[in-house]
Homo-oligomer: A and B are copies of this chain.
Amino acid sequence: MPLLLLLLALADTPAPVKVLVAYHSTGGHTAALAKAVEAGARQAGANVTLRNVADVKCDELRATDALIVGTPVYWSNMAGQVKTFFDRFTTECQFLPPAFPMKDKAGAAFVTGGEVSSGKEIALMTILAAMLGNRMVVVSEGQALGAAATTGEGKDPLTEKELAEGRLLGERVAVLARTLKRGRSPD
């Protein structure tokens, strides 16, 4: 292949989008769903980082094209650890209006909870609300507001349907992030 064409082809191959999957897990269920989300995003060609929420750095948030946040449900809401993660956006990362450094990044949520209607949807909704307040672009996949696994008394592994929905969520966010990046890039 002539050198010029090769260079053009390379230039046309966009860098893969970065997807950050941040979660908290105590018993391992949310970690398992996080891995499914990660696998879906990777399969879609994204450069995926999987992190415990406590370990996410402000620079990682600034650099990512997409953020997917997962939590177990405690009392119809995200875990305190995950709420504290969002609070660090302000206190540690200084993600304040009107700058909104997370603006226009893709976002989504996933949860695990011990009963069918144990507060999973409220938890999903509050994660999405935090993202919308940061002016992110949010989507769901799997269930109405994101991926969700019902973990009973915490003993059973996730079902294949639940893991498949996690992968779908990761894939959808990766594709959205790439579409947004490509749509914003100069010709």
Q: Is A126 an interface residue (CB 8 A)?
A: yes
Q: How many copies of this chain does the complex contain? A: 4
- CA of A181 to CA of B184, assembled, Å: 10
Beta-carbon contact of B117 and A145 below 8 Å: yes
Contacts of A179 in B (CB 8 A): 179-180, 183-184
Residues of B with C-beta under 8 A to A143: 115-118
Report B-chain residues with C-beta under 8 Å of the C-beta of A79.
83, 87
How many residues of A sit at the interface, in one of the four size bands? 35 or more
* A140 on interface, CB distance cutoff 8 Å: yes
Q: How many Å lie between the Cα of A64 and that of B175 in the bound state?
A: 21
Tell me the bound Cα distance from A144 to B117 in angstroms: 6
Partner of A76, one of B74, B126, B139, B184: B126
Give complex CA distance A84, B80 in Å.
Answer: 5
- Among candidates B83, B118, B138, B141, residue contacting A80 with C-beta atoms closer than 8 Å: B83
Stretch at the interface among A30-38, A42-50, A55-63, A127-135: A127-135
Known pairs A80-B87, A83-B83, A137-B176. 9 more at Cβ < 8 A? Answer: A76-B144, A115-B143, A116-B148, A117-B143, A118-B133, A126-B126, A132-B139, A137-B137, A179-B183
Q: At the interface, yes or no: A68 with Cβ under 8 Å from chain B?
A: no
Contact call A116/B150, Cβ cutoff below 8 A:
yes
Proximity string of chain A (129-170) to chain B, C-beta cutoff 8 Å, 1 when within and 0 when not: 110111111111101110010100000000000000000000
